[in-house]
Amino acid sequence: MDQVRYTQRNCTDKEKIENFLLHERTGVLGMVSDSFPYAIPMNYVWHKGSVYFHGMGSGKKEDILSQSPHVCFTIYKEHGTVIDPMPCHADTAYMSVMLFGKAEKVTDFEEAAEALQRLVDKYMPEYYSNSLTSNFIEKYRSSLDENPVSVYRITLEGITAKENSVESEQLFSSEIS
């Protein structure tokens, strides 16, 4: 797996990476299609060393993943623009993690229920009083599709992380004092 070329930005702090993956809300799923790359933003959950996401049981994403399961999943957060007296030296403060691996449909209903429960807990904490069960997941259908909802797990083959961390006073602000 390729490593970060701009080594000054390489982030190797495993705890920081883990925390970032646990708390950020969206990532971009990059897939290999026949003629063009296909990348879509996704809600996700980081659980037991894997990324989980879900969607309808049909559609373009489903078709691509059934043919070519190797993916890249990118999570990033921009903190702002870093000021510099030289215009061409202005930069961006950010953190990003790229996960490379194979997206596999979860066929075990217990695992799927656990992953979907983690998604519900992440995006709507304490909203629902009952937990999801494997029986519910097995029978659940989207109102838009008669296929069962798909839950995918990305099994990692590689990971890279980059960051440009600066103090807040180094970030551009359009507020005039």
Which residues of the chain are modeled with pLDDT < 50? none
For 42-72, how does the pLDDT look when each residue is reduced to its tens digit (9 = 90+)? 999 999 999 999 987 778 999 999 999 999 9
Residue 69 lies in a domain: yes
Residue 126 lies in a domain: yes
Residue 48 lies in a domain: yes
Residue 52 lies in a domain: yes
Question: Count of domains in the chain?
Answer: 1
CATH number for the domain that contains residue 12: 2.30.110.10
3-state secondary structure labels for all residues of 39-51? EEEEECEEECCEE
Residue 82 lies in a domain: yes
Helix ranges (DSSP H) in 24-79: 60-67
Residue 172 lies in a domain: no
Residue 106 pLDDT:
96
**Contact between 103 and 154 (Cβ < 8 Å):** yes
Domain containing 88 equals 7-164
Residue 29 pLDDT:
98
Residue 144 pLDDT:
67
